[in-house]
Amino acid sequence: MTTSDNEWLNPSADLTLSRDEIHVWRADLDPPTSHLQLLAKTLSADERNRAERFYFEQHRNRFIAGRGILRTILARYLGIDPSEVQFGYEPRGKPILAETSGDSRLCFNLSHSQGLALYAVGRDRALGIDLEYIRPISDTEQLAKRFFSAQEYAVIRALPPSQKQETFFRYWTCKEAYLKATGDGLAQLDQIEILLAPEKPASELRLPSSLGTQDWVLQELTPTANYVAALVVAGQGWHLRSWQFL
**Beta-carbon contacts of residue 12 (< 8 Å; ≥ 6 apart):** none
Residues 148-171: tens digit of each pLDDT: 889 999 999 999 988 999 999 999
* CATH number listed for the domain at residues 131-234: 3.90.470.20
Same fold, 5-11+21-125 and 131-234: yes
Pairwise CA distance, residues 166 & 161, whole Å: 10
* pLDDT score for 1: 42
* pLDDT score for 101: 66
pTM exceeds cut of 0.85: yes
User: Closest by alpha carbon to 145, among 157, 160, 159?
Assistant: 157
What's the start-to-end Cα distance of the chain, in Å? 25
**Ramachandran angles phi, psi of 244, nearest 5°:** -100, 120
* pLDDT score for 214: 72
Query: What ranges do the domains of the chain cover?
Result: 5-11+21-125, 131-234
CATH fold for domain 5-11+21-125:
Ribosomal Protein L22; Chain A (3.90.470)
Residues 29-50: tens digit of each pLDDT: 999 999 999 999 999 999 999 9
Residues of the chain predicted below pLDDT 50: 1, 4
